Amino acid sequence: MSELDLAGHVVELVRRLAGPDAQAEVVVTRADLALTRFANSFIHQNVAESATAVRLRLHADGRTAAGSGSLVDPDGLAALVERTLAATRLAPTDPAWPGLTPSTPVPAGAPVDEATAAASPDERAARVRAFVDAVEGLEAAGYCRTAHRSAAFANSAGHSAVGRSAEAAMDGIARAGGADGVARHCADRLADLDGGALGARAAAKARAAADPVELPPGRYEVVLEPAAVADLLDNLAWYGFNGKRYAERQSFAEPGAAQFDPALTLVDDPLHASGLPYDLEGTPRRALTLVEAGTTAAVAHDRRSGAEAGTGSTGHGMPGGSTFGPLPHNVRLLPGDGPVEVAAGPLSAGVTGAVADPDTAALVAGMSRGLLVSDFWYTRVLDAKQLVVTGLTRNGVWLVEDGVPTRAVRDFRFTESYPRAMGPGRVLGLGRSPVRQPDRVDGFWWETPALRLASWNFTGGASG
Give residues 366-385 in contact with another protein (rule: CB under 8 A): 377-385
- 17 near another protein, rule: CB under 8 A: no
* Residues 440-459 as x/- pattern, contact with another protein by CB under 8 A: xx---------------x-x
Q: Scanning residues 396 to 435, which ones bind another protein (CB under 8 A)?
A: 411, 413, 415-417
Instruction: Kindly list the distances between the CA atom of residue 347 and the CA atoms of 98, 174, 433, in Å, as whole numbers in the listed order.
Output: 45, 15, 10
Among 211, 249, 310, 337, binds another protein (CB under 8 A): 249
Question: Least distance (Å) from another protein to the CB of residue 205?
Answer: 13
Give the span between the Cα atoms of 422 and 316, in whole angstroms. Answer: 25
Nearer to another protein, 55 or 432 (CB): 55
The residue among 245, 242, 250, 306 whose CA lies nearest residue 268 is 242
Find the binding residues for another protein in span 323-342 (CB under 8 A).
323
Q: Give residue 73's Cα distance to chain centre.
A: 33
User: How far from chain centre, in Å, is Cα 294?
Assistant: 21
**Shortest spacing between CB 310 and another protein, in angstroms:** 18
Nearest distance from C-beta of residue 175 to another protein, angstroms: 7
Least distance between another protein and beta carbon 76 (Å):
8
Residues 267-326 that bind another protein (CB under 8 A): 322-323
349 binds another protein (CB under 8 A): no
State which of positions 37-96 bind another protein (CB under 8 A). Answer: 37-52, 64-72, 79-80, 83-84, 87, 90-96
> Is position 122 an interface residue for another protein (rule: CB under 8 A)?
yes
Window 164-203: residues binding another protein (CB under 8 A):
171-173, 175, 180, 182
Helix, strand, coil content of the chain in percent (nearest 5): 25, 40, 40
User: 3-class SS at 374?
Assistant: strand
Distance CA 262, CA 353 (A): 32
- The amino acid that residue 279 corresponds to is D
Provide, rounded to whole angstroms, the least separation between the CB of residue 444 and another protein. 11
Residues 6 or more apart whose Cβ sits within 8 Å of residue 161: 106, 152, 153, 277, 278, 282, 284
